[in-house]
Amino acid sequence: MNVGNQSEGVAFSPDGKEVYVTNLDSGNISIVNTTTNTVTARIKVEGWAWGIAFSPNGKIVYATNCGYNGSVFVIDTTTNKVTANVKVGT
Domain extents for the chain?
A: 7-87
Distance, CA of 19 to CA of 76 (rounded, Å): 14
- Three-state SS for 45? coil
Reported as a single tens digit per residue, the pLDDT across 3-61 is: 888 788 999 999 999 999 999 889 999 999 999 999 999 999 988 899 999 999 999 99
Which is more confident, 63 or 70?
63
The pLDDT assigned to 90 comes to 67
Domain 7-87 fold is Thrombin, subunit H (2.40.10)
Of 55, 50, 47, the residue nearest 76 (C-alpha): 55
